[in-house]
Structure formats: C-alpha cells, structure tokens
Amino acid sequence: MTENNNSETSNAKPSSFKAHTPISRRSATAIVKTSLSTMSPSQTTVSKSVMPIIRDRDSGSTDINNPDDQSTNKGNPGNSKHSNSTHSVNQRKTGQILRIHHLNCGTMCPACQKLINGYGSWKKPARLVCHCLLLETTLGLILVDCGFGSRDVQNPRGRLGDTFLKLARPTLDISETALYQIQALGYAPEAVSHIIPTHLDLDHAGGLSDFPHAKVHVLEAELLQIVQPDMRDLLRFRSVQFEHQPQWVVHSLSQSQAQQPWFGFDAIAPITALANDLLLVPLIGHTKGHVGVAVRQGKKWLLHCGDAYFHHSQISAQPRMPPGLKFFEKLVQTYAKPRIANLARLQQLALHHGDEVSLFCAHDPQELMRYTAS
C-alpha cells in the first residue's frame, strides 16, 4: 500500500552463493575490512578509520546538485517511472519524500497464535510480518528495513539456519521480498540508493544483498557486532548475509554533527538532503545499536520502531503483551534496562503525541494492516 507524502493518501539476483559456514571473529573482521577497502573515493574516509564520524558530505548521502552522482539519477523515481514528475533532482537543493509504501517483506508463522498474537487458537500457527517502508524520494528509493531477501528464499538453511527456521517458520515467499515488490512497482534494484535497517538481525537484514550498491546506514554500535562480535553476537548475526560487502555508512550519536532533538529523543539525520524528513532515533536494547526511523509524512511523523517492541498493545495505556511474545522479547534482548526504558519512552510518545507521531513495530500484523487496509 502506498501513501503520498503530501498528506494525500492513496492506496496504495540471485547469483550463486556459498552455503553458510560458521562465522569466526577473523572472518567477520575480514568481511568488513574488505568491504571498506572497496568503497568509492567519497567513502574512503570511512576505510581510513574503521568507525569514524560520518558526516553527510563524507558518508555518501547523495549530493543532488551533482550531476556526476550516478546514484542520484539511476532509477530515480523523479526521473524514471514518473518521468513527467516536476520533482527533478537537478532542480532541487533539498531532497523530498514523494511517496511512502508499507511493505511486508517476510511472513513468519511460529507455533500458537494465542501465545504470540494474543488472540485466536492455541493450535493454529501465529502470524508475524516484517513491516518495511519503501520511500520514493528525489534521491532515489530508500528502504527502511528490508526483511528477508531473495537469497534467503533460495537458500534458507544456509542463510537463516535450522534453529530459526524451526522456531520462526518463515514462509519465504519470493513475492514478499523487497526486491520483487520494487520490481513490481516498475523500478530497477539499482533505484534503491539507501537502506536504513533498524538493526542487523537476520529478519531485518536479509534483503541487503539484493541491493549491493545501496548505502547502508547503521549506528557504530550495531556494526561493531558484525565487525568485532562477542560470543553472543556470533550466535545471533548471520555473517553470510553480509558476504556481499555492504556499503556501510556508520553514524555515531556522540560525534554526529547532524544530531538533533526529536520529541525529546536524540536523533541523527543520516542523509543531509532529507534532514528535515528522515531521522535515526537510537532505541538501544534489543541490540547494541538498534534504532527507530522517523519519516515525516505531511504534518505528521511515522516512527518505525523496529524490534523496540513487538505487540501493538505495548504502547497503549493498558499493555496486554501475549506471554509467548513477552518471553521471546526478553530472550533476545541485549541490554534489559535501556530496552525497558526506551519502551516506556515510546509509550509516553504514543500517549502524548499520538496525533503527531504514528508508531509501529516491525512484526505486528495488526499494525501493518492499519496502513495497508484500503
């Protein structure tokens, strides 16, 4: 489903790959080192210092006034599909979000609907989604989270592992991948210029490899889990999903000059040209560098909360968390105290600013339906 961003609402490769081999600290470091060494000149700054301050000018966020910037023009929604659009990239000094799509990029059906969804049958499987955003902008397409990718669908055991497959029971339907849905909208994969994953768990990062040319924005703490994993990180993150060497753009809240307050939360503008419309909102706890992603939609904001919470009732005045989901949430948390504190802040945000900010998490099918029901 699609929403036009100027407040009008409308309805909206694979190649051969290796089987998963156990990740080692050395190989994970090598993967990212190699990735950094192959970055474009504008990103070389990144490779000199593994975790630098990334300013927009350095980080590769697109200079829309630079006609040589191929990432700006290639497959740009303003230039390709909507060729009669007045939003010509070379005429604008700032970027603009033209349209927002809410996509499900992966359905999961773990056991027991009642325990996980909080309604229905004890015997029927639950249903969870991977709620992603696709932004059509004057800078090209931007994905917020990318769910499972085509390579996950083609090689589930190698990419996702047996344990996850048995517990989460993803349907792995190729038509749910961001790649498929973007192509169905008439765009080439190369039209995706930026990806902002809320974090790098396998159900949020699997689609990265379908867009190897896109810049991937993460907090420093999130990427460190891949570059310098501890034992828990080694078990949690799937190194095979990063073997294509993503073009990481690393952001650090403490050092960022693009930092700005947002409804009392810290926030970072990852792309200068969209600084008024697109923000990283650190929500640490589920992982070490987990973020929410705020997207302006007309006079309101959307806040993609990733896995900062799992069930819509958690941000209501009277939370009624299904017990199975509650157990899972605690099981997979990295830092308990900040996670719980951030959840409380999100509850307050929903309570006091619900008319200005629309919150949703990654996996709640009822929340997704709010945006996609016609």
Note the residues at the interface with Zn ion (CB under 5 A).
203, 307
| Number of helices and strands in the chain (H, E) | 15, 13
- Name the residue nearer to Zn ion (CB basis): 59 or 198: 198
We find the least distance from the C-beta atom of residue 130 to Zn ion, in angstroms, to be 7
We find the least distance from the C-beta atom of residue 219 to Zn ion, in angstroms, to be 16
We find the least distance from the C-beta atom of residue 218 to Zn ion, in angstroms, to be 15
Q: How far apart (Å, rounded) are the C-alpha atoms in residues 2 and 4?
A: 7
- Name the residue nearer to Zn ion (CB basis): 273 or 305: 305
Q: How far apart (Å, rounded) are the C-alpha atoms in residues 326 and 309?
A: 10
Pairing of strands 357-360, 140-144: unpaired
- Name the residue nearer to Zn ion (CB basis): 99 or 204: 204
Residues facing residue 345 across a β-bridge: none
The per-residue b/e assignment along 315-350, b for 16 or more CB within 10 angstroms, e otherwise, is beeeeeebebbbebbeeebbeeebbeebbebbbebb
- Name the residue nearer to Zn ion (CB basis): 277 or 364: 364
- Name the residue nearer to Zn ion (CB basis): 56 or 201: 201
- Name the residue nearer to Zn ion (CB basis): 327 or 356: 327
DSSP 260: E
DSSP 113: H
Contact between 125 and 169 (Cβ < 8 Å): yes
